[in-house]
Amino acid sequence: MTPPETPGQGRKAEAPAASPAVSLCLSVMKTRPEFLLAAQARRQGTSGFLLQARARADGNPAVQIGFTASKKIGNAVMRNRAKRRLRALARAIMPAMAQPGWDYVLVARPGATVERAFADLLRDLEGAMRTVHGGGR
Which tens digits make up the pLDDT trace of 52-72?
999 988 888 889 999 999 999
For residue 72, what pLDDT is reported?
94
Q: Is the pLDDT of residue 125 over 90?
A: yes
Q: How far is CA 69 from CA 21, 26, 59, 87, 112, in A?
A: 28, 20, 30, 12, 12
For residue 22, what pLDDT is reported?
41
User: What number does CATH give the domain 24-132?
Assistant: 3.30.230.10
Instruction: Give me the mean pLDDT over the 91-106 stretch.
Output: 91
Beta strands 49-55 and 42-45, pairing class: antiparallel
Position 61, amino acid: P
For residue 18, what pLDDT is reported?
47
Instruction: Give me the mean pLDDT over the 47-56 stretch.
Output: 91
Q: Is the pLDDT of residue 113 over 80?
A: yes
As a whole number, the mean pLDDT across the chain is 84
For residue 58, what pLDDT is reported?
85
Q: CA-based Rg of the chain, rounded to a whole angstrom?
A: 19
For residue 6, what pLDDT is reported?
64
Q: What is the secondary structure of 72-126 as a DSSP string?
A: TS-SHHHHHHHHHHHHHHHHHHHHHHPPTTEEEEEEE-TTHHHHS-HHHHHHHHH
Q: Is the pLDDT of residue 84 over 80?
A: yes
What pLDDT digit, counting tens, does each position of 3-23 carry?
Answer: 666 666 656 656 555 444 444
